């Protein structure tokens, strides 16, 4: 993570933009020139960050994706759907991504896949309650450090908490979806 951005503790600008914040963070990690556009320029880092997150949220829930292709529009109030995160990452990285559910009986397998993928690139993870996915975080590495966008900080999750469905991420405990490279 760019140290200028890490020092700013960049968080999601509203209650529905965690997925977009994760996408912007993932892009700043993968693209130093893009990170420079967030870290430098007119206004504060926080203002540029918020504007980029909100623009990303509008695009990922709109009728056109980052490549201009048609996509199913999604109500912004419901956050960013996993398939839109996968499409956005594909358009930015040039490789395919897929949203995969994390059923309770397969959390160990999902955790292995997340750790393996996160060794080379950040991986979005949807978490929530027993009943619904509610929040998106970004797994930064195989050691399970995560960017948690509601607080704008990096935390570490315990593998046993992941497999046991007892995570402590912005008040949410259950892993629901991973978005992984194909």
In this predicted model, what pLDDT tens digit does every residue of 159-180 receive, in sequence order?
A: 999 999 999 999 999 999 999 9
Q: What is the CATH number of the domain that holds 21?
A: 3.90.70.10
Query: Looking at residues 85-104, what average pLDDT do you find?
Result: 95
pTM score of the predicted model: 0.95
Task: Write the secondary structure of the chain as one string of H (helix), E (strand) and C (coil).
Answer: CCHHHHHHCCCCCCCCCHHHHHHHHHHHHHCHHHHHHHHCCCCCHHHHHHHHHHHHHHHHHCCECCCCCECCCCCHHHCCCHHHHHHHHHHHHCCCEEEEECCHHHHHHHHHHHHHHHCCCCEEEEEECCCCEEEEEEECCCCCEEEECCCCEEEECCHHHHHHCCCCECCECEEEEEEEEC
Total domains, the chain: 1
In this predicted model, what pLDDT tens digit does every residue of 131-148 receive, in sequence order?
A: 999 999 999 999 999 999
Q: How confident is the model at residue 53 (pLDDT cuts 50, 70, 90)?
A: very high
pLDDT value of position 143: 97
Domain membership of residue 143 as a residue range: 3-181
């Amino acid at each position: 993570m760019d140290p200028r951005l890490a020092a700013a503790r960049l968080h999601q600008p509203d209650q529905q933009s965690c997925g977009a914040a994760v996408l912007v963070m993932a892009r700043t990690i993968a693209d130093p020139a893009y990170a420079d556009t967030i870290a430098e320029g007119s206004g504060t880092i926080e203002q540029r960050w918020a504007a980029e997150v909100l623009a990303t949220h509008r695009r990922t829930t709109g009728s056109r994706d980052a490549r201009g292709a048609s996509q199913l529009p999604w109500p912004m109030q419901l956050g960013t759907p996993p398939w839109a995160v996968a499409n956005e990452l594909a358009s930015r990285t040039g490789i395919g991504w897929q949203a995969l559910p994390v059923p309770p009986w397969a959390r160990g397998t999902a955790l292995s896949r997340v750790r393996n993928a996160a060794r080379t690139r950040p991986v979005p993870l949807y978490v929530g309650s027993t009943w619904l996915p509610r929040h998106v975080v970004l797994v930064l590495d195989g050691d399970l450090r995560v960017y948690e966008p509601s607080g704008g900080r990096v935390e570490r999750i315990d593998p046993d908490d992941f497999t046991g469905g007892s995570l402590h991420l912005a008040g949410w405990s259950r892993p629901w979806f991973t978005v992984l490279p194909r």
